[in-house]
Amino acid sequence: GKLFIQDKKLKVSLKENIAEKLYIEVVSIRGNDQAKAIISGEHTRFVYLAKNDEVTLSSRELNTADEAEKGDLHLSFDKVCEFACTTPLDELRFILESVEVNKAAAAESLKGTYGHGVAQTLSGGLMGNNVYTHMLSYTAAACDARMAGAMIPVMSNSGSGNQGITATLPVSVFAEETGKSEEELIRALTLSHLMTIYIKQSLGRLSGLCGAVVAATGSSCGITYLMGGSREQIGFAIKNMIGNITGMICDGAKPSCALKVSNGVSTATLSAMMAMENKVVTAVEGIAAEEVDKTIENLTKIGRFGMLETDRMILEIMTSK
């Protein structure tokens, strides 16, 4: 692959006039032979395969990110909170695996230097040595390693490793360092992950909106719960998040994602702290609404529809460098 690039045998361009948000078309030519493959709708969903005039697979149909989510369970803020807070603990205990896997990734990352070394910068002393900086550095560390291509497994959320990291580590580090019980940790993690899934479900499979916004909103809910917050205050945390970092763009998976993840965790912590003081972005401010679900809907409308042109422009910039 590197030799192909070096010899200028590869050409990358933006596919125009297609409805799918996720679309990859590869054409390979050697001599008089030509092969073509198309992935559409999902990251591993091949819809077209052909060599010369022989077509071995042709099942392409309109498969947008929104259509891919049609069969999903209809969630709501209240359903997520109720499930996380009342489901028998043994049915939720599996969520602790996310802590084990993602914390191990962070610990391994902190032994070396990966990506931009965001975790090391955060641990450098200027911001102090406290729960807050540990939440930031552990989350950034796992992301540093993953985005640098390290062979370290992480547990994902909604198909994204960085979302899994962001929904897990801020919550688990806060719980551990503030002496919370195992039950509190399990329920907070469930709340964080399921709220992330709820928002992502409405947003769709792909968006120009950074997934750290979504996962950090989930972790803010988990942190608020661990702080002793009520359901109303958990809702406040969501509104504070959406009133703050909505609009952070996704411009591909790369080392600088660790910067966005740490930004999300920082905002999640601030949003939870404000929520615990009953400070909330109100319905007269921007895209926030009276109802939590409506506020989430407004966020996902921006990501799903409002950022279509943004997404196209980002791809145009990236493919023309």
| pTM of this structure | 0.89
Facing residues of 157 across strands?
Answer: 160
**pLDDT averaged over consecutive 10-residue blocks of the chain (321 residues)?**
83 84 91 94 89 90 50 85 98 98 96 94 89 97 95 93 98 98 99 97 87 98 99 99 96 96 98 99 98 98 93 90 82
Q: At what angle do helices 161-177 and 257-276 cross, to 10 degrees?
A: 40
Confidence at residue 205, expressed as pLDDT on a 0 to 100 scale: 78
Q: Is the Cα dihedral 300, 305, 306, 309 positive or negative?
A: positive
Q: Note whether 41 and 47 are within 8 A (CB).
A: yes
- Burial state string for 70-105 with b = 16 or more CB within 10 A and e = fewer than 16: eeeeebebeebbebbeeeeeeebeebeebbebbbeb
**Structural domains in the chain?**
2-58 (no CATH), 72-319 (1.10.4100.10)
pLDDT digits (tens, 9 = 90+) for 164-202: 999 999 999 999 999 999 999 999 999 999 999 999 998
